[in-house]
Structure 1
């Protein structure tokens, strides 16, 4: 009896709308399916190739230079607090130059959403030494915002410890990544002449 019940339920699930049903428009059904146009192999295909930024000389980014503008991610601030690192001072120790940490509206909104537990991170993010960058787009997903910003403007270094975000930024040429290892800041993909430490 149990098997019969199961079979009956399965039959109910498979029930479909009849072709004679009034909810289906007869005129729409009568139309033949649209034919796909055959592609002419001899025709020239038009492709939109993104313009190569003029600031890049191969992998060397000429727009980077002191003072460095560093885009900070939410988890970078949190991990800096865990490692007991002063953000601005540690950035200067890493790059041997003046650094301006930049925080976007999306990152600020993300920190505010984290609540009372991350109040120290919020206090650091509201530091007057941080430059606030307004966001004009919809939504508050910080990773997309940072990737979009560094794709448009190649004058930033991205500070993050997020593996997924690092992977996405590595695909964009000329954008260095700052990360935390061994309780200090390190830099990745920085041109040799800037004297960035390598560990």
Structure 2
């Protein structure tokens, strides 16, 4: 009976010692993987100049401070959407496409404008539009002859380049006394965003 008890005690000790070895082995492995990551110093050659600079601290905005807003200043000639500068005689800025479409529709530009507005009309053409028609060559010689009509008022351009759309949009934004005559969709879309500027276009040969 005593021998049986001793054997049982020895077996229990072996089991405990084996578990202890397993626990120690696990702890050793955990220690291996827990090594610290090394930090690079600011003088290390592997760092680039932008990385060496210390990050600047963001300044906290004061919630009680007054916020400045830039409100676009509207021209004094507008009464809501009504433009008080428009009136007879009407000054109409003419685009290259408008002249070409009037030729295709067999319309007299000045007479058609007067029939549309029932008032005296002064068609205006900028240097950019004139240069654009001249660049189109011999094919558009009729349009060039119409553009050089003495009834057309010539407007000089002071900016660089000869892109007519930007010129017309800039001129209409600064001076609200013009009506824009064009058939170009992109130009019409841009002008519609400017308040108080009417658009004249050709549709169904009129």
Q: Alpha carbon RMSD of aligned pairs, Å?
A: 9.4
Gaps of 5+ in 2: 1-23
The Cα offsets for residues 33-61 of structure 1, whole Å up to 9 and x where unpaired, read as 55554443333232222211111111111
Worse overlay, 34-43 or 8-17? 8-17
Larger Rg: 2
Partners of 2:146 and 2:28 lie apart in 1 by 63
Partners of 2:94 and 2:32 lie apart in 1 by 55
Which one has the bigger strand percentage? Answer: 1
Gaps of 5+ in 1: 184-199
Query: Normalization by structure 2: what TM-score?
Result: 0.72
44 and 129 in structure 1: CA distance in 2 versus 1, 3 angstrom threshold? same
The 8 Å contact of residues 122 and 152 in structure 2, kept in 1 or not, is answered as yes
Q: Secondary structure at the match of 1:42?
A: coil
Which one has the bigger helix percentage? Answer: 2
The Cα offsets for residues 7-26 of structure 1, whole Å up to 9 and x where unpaired, read as 99999999999999999996
68 and 41 in structure 1: CA distance in 2 versus 1, 3 angstrom threshold? same
Shift of 1:2: 51
28 and 176 in structure 1: CA distance in 2 versus 1, 3 angstrom threshold? same
